[in-house]
Chains A and B, each alone.
Chain A
Amino acid sequence: MAFLELTGIQKRFGEVAAVQNFDLAAEAGEFVSFLGPSGCGKTTTLRMIAGFERPTSGKIVVKGVDITNRAPNQRNVGMVFQSYALFPNMTVADNVGFGLKVRKQPKDQIRKRVGELLELIHLPDKAGRYPWQLSGGQQQRVALARALAIEPQVLLLDEPLSALDAKIRVSLRNEIRAIQRQLGITTVYVTHDQEEALSLSDRIVVMSEGRIEQTGTPFEIYNFPSTGFVARFVGTLNVVSAKVLDPTAGTLETAGQPIRAAGPISGGHSGDSVTVALRPEIISLGAREGMNQLSGVVDDVTFLGSIVRVRIRFSDGSGAISFDTFNNPHLAVPDRGTAVTISFPPEACLVLDRAEIAAAAAPEDPDAA
């Protein structure tokens, strides 16, 4: 039996189904992320685990105990909020010790535990400070220590890094992961930032419109997306139109040039129009033996620091493809207007089904959803 189990969870707000058919089994010590755009139901699911929302149907079990109908203060589940939610009237030490005080632990034990946790979050000298005297990153670390102080069975983090600037976000997420590994605490992390989810998680649950789109390791989610939504939401994707030449052999034609998928195109017939998705980082510049090759003209070159993103446009006007190369000052980047050939392996071709084509074609800003 898994440590944390969510079975058949549904949550409705009036007519609106916020979460539907949600099933998850997380092992002890596992770091699971809920990833999806705003409004996809990830925070609602987290709040149901915390007890702040009651599922319309379904069951939540922690360590074999059904906690579905337990009050939030009887679940022993620690939570870290996006807004930190530190108690403004209490010092850092008081905040961290609050849960232990509630549990009526002896004063010297509280003092010892608070000291340990402040060491853990590298703020041992801030015990007497008030939240408003700390930076955002420090406040979130205190919030983490406060949640960990009660030794919760499950740690829940609701977009804890969203309010922080980029550099602190990266350092704090590494710190969160290190602490989670050190303590071996089962953790559920909610984020709409795919990079955060990919870098932190043992497993990612990608959600859309209240449903699970795919559950898998970061490697699986990124490299083998099972739906168009996942392919589009996780990472950057080139979407090009293609025509099926031979579904059994997995051959297609795009921009008037033949390409090959890794295997047969299921449900496809010769002449069918399909959409093919390609990750930019898997495409390389130049013709390579045994790989798919497409020729076009360089349309744009964008410097992104360590990476240079090049966009080529096909001569028949059927579309464009972007790909990434490392920024190597000793290697020349093609100029705009240069005719080039790009290569990519057949496994890189993700042939999307018709329903996914519509979703993949619709431009969507994850933050705006």
Chain B
Amino acid sequence: MGFPNPSIGGSAVQGALGPGEHGSAPARGAGRVRGRYLTRIAWWLVFIIGVLYFFIPLYGTLDFSLKSKPFLSAYTAILNDSQFVSTLTYSFVAGILTIIVSVLIIVPTAFWVRLKYPGLRPIIEFITLLPFVIPPIILVFGLDNTYGTQPLALTNSDNGLNVLLVAAYVILSFPYMYRAVDTGLRAIDIQSLTEASQSLGAGWIRILWQVILPNLRTSLLSGAFLTLAIVVGEFTIATFLSRPAFAPFLGLVGDERPYEQAALALVSFGITWVAMILIAIIGRNSRSRIRVTVG
């Protein structure tokens, strides 16, 4: 028996050593380098698995869509289909309206709760999580029952149904939008910023619009991305409310024209990504509306 040689065993031995018995510097250095190397390999593995998980289905879809004869006929067919543009436009408009309404509801609520009633946060969080618990089919039947009769018979007109659809999507977007905004609010000292604005004479609307919102830009963008993606791909509510949205159209095409459905999925995927990039660019370029130059 004897004391372990500090130079052998590297970092594993070091933990067992008393003061003044640490491993030699080269051994510690080698252990650290090996640890960093293993960490890097682990990260690359996770990254590669993630990339494969994301791209293999896309590749499968692409491969399937290209099997149509003549070559690329699935793509030309859907691009020439007038319903493709109209349903996609409808879903995008619904998505943008959903984002606007969500921001108008969520930002002041999350701001107020954080600033004045932090004790209410768990309750608000629970409410925003309800869309994960209540399936869209339940939600749409509830909406249909509530708004199918007077005094708020919204299901009797196209505009009424459009309002219901956006309202339902706003509810679906709650978990994503609230979390994004709440995380953003946590990152800034909203109490000091609010009080500083107040001491300078600003009212609540100006504080929200010029001080809080611009500092939530990144959070709002991520919430907006998720909301847009959900709205464009949402099937159940749009179908049951008989709305000319993209997801029901995708389902309809899939029933009769499988190659075209695959092409449609890929094209819509690409368009959604382009839309998200556009939102990101617009969001990055928008600055505070106040501009003071000196000199």
Chain A positions near chain B (C-beta within 8 angstroms) = 50-52, 71-79, 81, 83, 85-91, 93-94, 96-99, 101-103, 110-111, 114-115, 118, 124, 127-128, 143, 146-147, 150, 156
Contact = CB atoms under 8 A, between A and B. Distances in A.
A150 B196 CA distance: 12
Contact of A97 (B193, B201, B211, B292): B292
A354 to B, nearest CB: 43
A158 to B, nearest CB: 10
B200 A81 contact: no
Contacts of A85: 189, 192-193, 195-196
Contact of B198 (A73, A83, A147, A156): A73
B288 A89 contact: yes
B93 interface: no
11 contacts: A51-B198, A71-B198, A79-B196, A83-B189, A85-B193, A85-B195, A99-B200, A110-B292, A111-B293, A118-B294, A150-B200
A115 B192 CA distance: 25
A194 B63 CA distance: 76
A103 B291 CA distance: 15
Contacts of B291: 94
B292 A146 contact: no
Nearest to A93: B292
Given A89-B215, A90-B288, A94-B288, A146 B294 contact: no
Contact of B211 (A87, A128, A146): A87
A328 to B, nearest CB: 43
A215 B202 CA distance: 34
B197 interface: yes
Closest 3 CB pairs of A and B: A99-B200, A85-B192, A97-B292
B215 A88 contact: yes
A102 B215 contact: no
B188 interface: yes
Contacts of B294: 93, 111, 114-115, 118, 124, 127
Interface of B: 188-189, 192-193, 195-203, 206, 210-211, 214-215, 217, 287-288, 290-295
Nearest to A83: B192
B211 A79 contact: no
A115 B293 CA distance: 9
Contacts of B215: 87-89
Given A50-B195, A72-B195, A103 B292 contact: no
A81 B193 CA distance: 10
A90 B188 CA distance: 14
Given A87-B211, A88-B188, A89-B288, A98 B197 contact: yes
- Most chain A CB within 10 A, of B197, B198, B199, B291, is at B199
Contacts of A99: 200-201
A150 B188 contact: no
B199 A77 contact: yes
B198 A72 contact: yes
Given A83-B189, A83-B192, A89-B287, A101 B199 contact: no
Contacts of B202: 73, 98, 102
B192 A89 contact: no
- Most chain A CB within 10 A, of B192, B196, B211, is at B196
Contacts of B188: 88
A51 B194 CA distance: 13
A71 B195 CA distance: 11
Contacts of B295: 115, 127
A73 B203 contact: yes
B293 A98 contact: no
A249 B214 CA distance: 72
B193 A73 contact: no
Contacts of B193: 85, 87
A366 B29 CA distance: 44
Nearest to B204: A73
B294 to A, nearest CB: 4
Contacts of B211: 87, 89
Given A103-B201, A147-B199, A111 B189 contact: no
Nearest to A99: B200
Contacts of A76: 201
Contact of A111 (B199, B201, B292): B292
Contacts of A50: 195, 199
Contacts of A143: 196
B197 to A, nearest CB: 7
Nearest to B196: A85
Contacts of A97: 290, 292
Given A73-B201, A83-B189, A150-B201, 4 more contacts: A81-B195, A85-B189, A94-B288, A111-B294
